[in-house]
Structure 1
Amino acid sequence: MIVFKGFMKLVKKNAGIALMYISIFFSISLMVSKNLNTNTDDSFTASELLVTVIDRDQSPLSEALSAHLGETFTLVPLEDKENVLQDALFNRRTQYIIQIPENFQDDFQTGSQELITNKIPDSTNGMYADQTVDAFLNDVRSLNLAGYSLEEACQETKKAASVTADISLISEDTSVFSTYSFIFVYMPYIILCLCCYIPPIVLLAFRKKDLRTRILSAPISSRSQSLQLFLGFALLGLGFWVLNLLFVLAMDGKAFLQSPNVSYYLGNSLCLTLVSLAIAFLISTFLKRDDALSAITNVISLGMCFLCGVFVPLTLLGDSVKKFAQFLPLYWYENNVSLLNKVAITTKSQTLQLYQGFGIQLLFCVALVSIALMVNKRMNVIEK
C-alpha cells in the first residue's frame, strides 16, 4: 500500500486549502442558519391597523360604515380638529383617518358622495383601508339598486362581511426551508471546491517525473498502483461527503433525521460527490501545472453553481439558462433538492422524478470518467 500511503501524505500536505474552503462554507452556513432560526413573522393582521372615523353625518349609512370599520380595524377616537388629526397621523397614533361629511347619505343615494381620507403616504395599510371602504359602499349600493332599502342594504352588507370561511391545509406541500435543506442546497459548492482541488493536485504530484520513476521501479504492478490510487480517490470523496453530513447533523440533526426524505437527501448528495470526483478526475487528466488549479476550480465551481440553481434559485433563472443548465450535472442535483424541500411525502411521480435525477447524475459520472480514461490513454501513447 505504498502508493495509497503516498496519496494520503499528499492529501495531508494540502489539507490547509481544504480547511480554508470548509471554514468559509461552514461560517456562511452558521450565519444564514442563525437568520433562518430568527422569528421574522411579518404577517399582516387587519385588526392592527389604526383607523379614526370622524362622522359628521350621523346617518344610518355613516353609522353602519363606522361600525364596519370598527369590526375590521382598531378604532382610535380623536377630537374633530384639523391640528389634532394631523398631529396624530404624524406621530403614528393613527394610520388612517376617514371624515364622513354632512349629508353623506343623501349624496350617496344620488351618486355624488365624497369621503375625505388621510393616510400615511405610500402605505399599503392605507390602500387596504380604502379598498375596505369602497367594497362596503359598493355592496350597499348594489343591494339598494336591487330593491333593498338603505337600512336593509347596510344590515345585509354587514351580515355578509361577518361571514368567514374555515380554511385547513390539505396539501402535503410543506415548502419549509429548514437549516438542513439550506445546507443541501449549497452543498455542491463546497463538494466541488474540495473535490476539484485536492485530488487533482495529488494526482498531478504522482505524474511528476521523479515520483513516477520511483513508483515504476518499485515491485508494484500497474494494476495495483491504479487500484491504490482509486482507493485513495474514493476514500477522499467519502470523507468529504461524511464531513458535510456531520455538519448537517450538528446544525439540524434532529429535524433532518425525522424527515421522511432523509434517504433521498443522502442518495442525492452521494451522487453529487461521485460526479464531483469524476469532474476532478477529468481535470487531473488535462492539468499540467498546479498554479492553474485554483483558477480552474473557481471557474468550474462558481460557474456551475450560478447556472444550476445553487446561488440563484431555479425558479428565478430564465428558460434559456435552465435549458442550458440541463446539460450540467448540478442542475439535476438542485432539481431534486428543490423537490425535496417542497414536499414532506413524495408521490409516485415525484419519486420517479427523484430517481431520474439520480440516474442522470450517475450517467454524467460514467461519461466524465470515460472521457478522462480515453484522454489519459491517448496522452500516455503520445508520451511513449
Structure 2
Amino acid sequence: MTVFKGYMKITKRLSGMIIMYLVIFTGVTISMQFAGEQAEEGSYAAEKLNIAVVDQDGGDLAKGLAAFLKENHHVEYMKNDPEVMQEALYYETVDLIVRIPEQFEEKCLDGEETLPITKVPGTYNAIYASQQINTFLNQVRTYKAAGYSVAEASEKCREQKTSEVNLLDKSKTTGEVKSYGYTFRYMPYLFLTAVCYVLGMILASFQKKEVKNRMIASAVSLRRQNGESILAFLVVGGVIWLFSMMGILAMNGKAFLEDPYKWYYIVNSLLLMLVCLAISMVLGLLVNKPTVINNIVTPLSLGMCFLCGAFVQMSLLGKSVLKVSRFLPVYWYEVVNETLGTCITMTDSIRRSIIRGFGIQLLFAVALVGIALAVSKFKQQEQ
C-alpha cells in the first residue's frame, strides 16, 4: 500500500488547505442556497407591497380604496409633501405612492383620469398594484351602475371572495421544492470545486518528474498503483461526502430523516461524488502543475453548474442549452434531484426516470475512470 500511504501523507500535509477549501466552498454553497430559496419563494407567491397613500379627497371612494389596499398590502398614510415622498422612495421605505386627488370620484370614477402612482425607478411593482386598483375601480363602476352607492359598492368589492383553484397533479409532484432540496441542488458546485481542487493538487504532486520516475522504477506494478490511487481517491471523497451530509443533517436533520425518499438523495449524491472523483482524476493526470488547476476548476465548475440547472432552475433554461447539458453528468444529477424535491408519490414512471439518472451518472463515472487509466498508461509508456 505504498502509493496509498503516499496519498494519505500528502493529504495530511495539505489538511489545512483542504479544510479551508471545504469551509469556503460550503459557505458559498449555503449562501447561494438561501439566496435561491428566497428568490424562488418570492417568484411564485403573491407579494405584499409597502404602499403609501396620500389622501387629498377623504371621500367614500378614497376610504374604500385604502381599505381594499390594506387587505392586500402594507399600507400607511403619508402627507402631501414632495420632499417626504421623494425621501421615502429614495430610501425604499415604500415600494410605491398612491396619490388620491381631490374630487376623486368625479375625476377617476366618472371621468377618464388615471390615478397618479409614483414608484421606485427601475422596479415593476407598480404594475401589479395598478392592476389591482383598476380592477377595484371597474368593479365599483359596475356596482354603481346597478344602483349601489359608492360606499356600498366599495364594501361589496372587498367582500368578494377570490376563486378557489384545485390542481389536478397528474405528475404526483407538489411543485414545491423541499428545503433541503436546495442544498442538494447546489451540491455539484461544492463537490466539483472542493474535490477537483484538493484531489487534483494531490495527484498533480505525483506527476512531478522525479516522483513519477521513482514510481516507474519501483517494484509496484502500474495496475496496483492505479488501484491504490483509486482507493485513496475514494477515501478522501468519502470524507468530503460525509462532511456535506453532516451539513445537511445539521440544517434539515428532522425533515430529511423523515423523508421516505432520503435513500434516493443519498445514492444520487454518492454517484455525483464518484463522477467528481473521476473528473478530478483525469484533471490531475493531465495537469502537471498544481497552480494550473485553479485556472481549470473555476470555469469547469461554474460552467457545468450554470448549464445543468444547479445555479439556474431548469425550467428557465432554453431548449438548446438543455440539449447540450444532457451530455454532462451534472444534468442527470439535477434531473433526479428536481424529481425527488417535488415528489409525493413514487410512481413507476418517476422511479424509472430516477434509475435512468442513476445509471447515466454511473456510466459517466466509469467512462472517466477508463480515460484516466488510459492516460496514466500512456504517460508511463511515454517515459
Q: Which band: TM-score by shorter chain?
A: 0.7 to 0.9
CA shift, 1:276, in A, is 0.8
Match among 120, 123, 134 for residue 137 of structure 2? 134
- Within a 5 Å distance, the mapping from 1:207-246 to structure 2 comes to 207-208=207-208, 210-212=210-212, 214-215=214-215, 220-246=220-246
Which amino acid is the alignment partner of residue 174 of structure 2?
D
**Unpaired runs of 5+ in structure 1?**
57-62, 79-83
**Unpaired runs of 5+ in structure 2?**
89-93, 121-125
Query: Partner of 1:11 in structure 2?
Result: 11
Is the 8 Å Cα contact of residues 139 and 157 (structure 1) preserved in structure 2? no
- Within a 5 Å distance, the mapping from 1:125-274 to structure 2 comes to 127-128=130-131, 130-140=133-143, 150-151=147-148, 162-165=159-162, 167=164, 172-173=173-174, 175-176=176-177, 178=179, 180-208=180-208, 210-212=210-212, 214-215=214-215, 220-274=220-274
- Structure whose alpha-carbon radius of gyration is higher: 1
Matched, 1:285 2:285: yes
Tell me how far apart the structure 2 counterparts of residues 198 and 89 of structure 1 sit (CA, whole Å): 57
Tell me how far apart the structure 1 counterparts of residues 140 and 83 of structure 2 sit (CA, whole Å): 24
Match among 80, 84, 108 for residue 86 of structure 1? 80
Once the two structures are superposed, residues 291-322 of structure 1 have per-residue CA deviations (whole angstroms, 9 ceiling, x without a partner) of 32232222322332232233333333333222
Tell me how far apart the structure 2 counterparts of residues 66 and 296 of structure 1 sit (CA, whole Å): 62
307-316 or 203-212, which deviates more: 203-212
Once the two structures are superposed, residues 165-202 of structure 1 have per-residue CA deviations (whole angstroms, 9 ceiling, x without a partner) of 57477655252462x33332222122112322333433
Which amino acid is the alignment partner of residue 159 of structure 2?
S
Paired residue secondary structure (1:279): helix
Is the 8 Å Cα contact of residues 196 and 283 (structure 1) preserved in structure 2? yes
CA shift, 1:159, in A, is 5.3
Paired residue secondary structure (1:150): coil
Tell me how far apart the structure 2 counterparts of residues 303 and 277 of structure 1 sit (CA, whole Å): 18
Query: Partner of 1:360 in structure 2?
Result: 360
CA shift, 1:222, in A, is 4.7
Change (3 A) 1:68 1:347: farther
Which amino acid is the alignment partner of residue 6 of structure 1?
G
CA shift, 1:31, in A, is 4.6
Paired residue secondary structure (1:86): coil
Query: Partner of 1:332 in structure 2?
Result: 332
Tell me how far apart the structure 2 counterparts of residues 277 and 47 of structure 1 sit (CA, whole Å): 49
Is the 8 Å Cα contact of residues 268 and 358 (structure 1) preserved in structure 2? yes
Tell me how far apart the structure 2 counterparts of residues 258 and 190 of structure 1 sit (CA, whole Å): 25
CA shift, 1:15, in A, is 2.5
Matched residue count: 358
Which amino acid is the alignment partner of residue 68 of structure 2?
T
Tell me how far apart the structure 2 counterparts of residues 306 and 181 of structure 1 sit (CA, whole Å): 17
Tell me how far apart the structure 2 counterparts of residues 239 and 299 of structure 1 sit (CA, whole Å): 25
Query: Partner of 1:27 in structure 2?
Result: 27
Alignment RMSD: 4.4
Which amino acid is the alignment partner of residue 199 of structure 1?
L
TM-score scaled by length of structure 1 = 0.73
**Could you tell me the percent identity over the aligned residues?**
31
Is the 8 Å Cα contact of residues 261 and 344 (structure 1) preserved in structure 2? no
Matched, 1:97 2:100: yes
Change (3 A) 1:164 1:372: same
CA shift, 1:155, in A, is 7.2
Once the two structures are superposed, residues 104-153 of structure 1 have per-residue CA deviations (whole angstroms, 9 ceiling, x without a partner) of 59x99xxx745684544574576246413432245247xx5xxxx63599
Which amino acid is the alignment partner of residue 134 of structure 1?
L
Query: Partner of 2:314 in structure 1?
Result: 314
Which amino acid is the alignment partner of residue 259 of structure 2?
S
Change (3 A) 1:132 1:55: farther
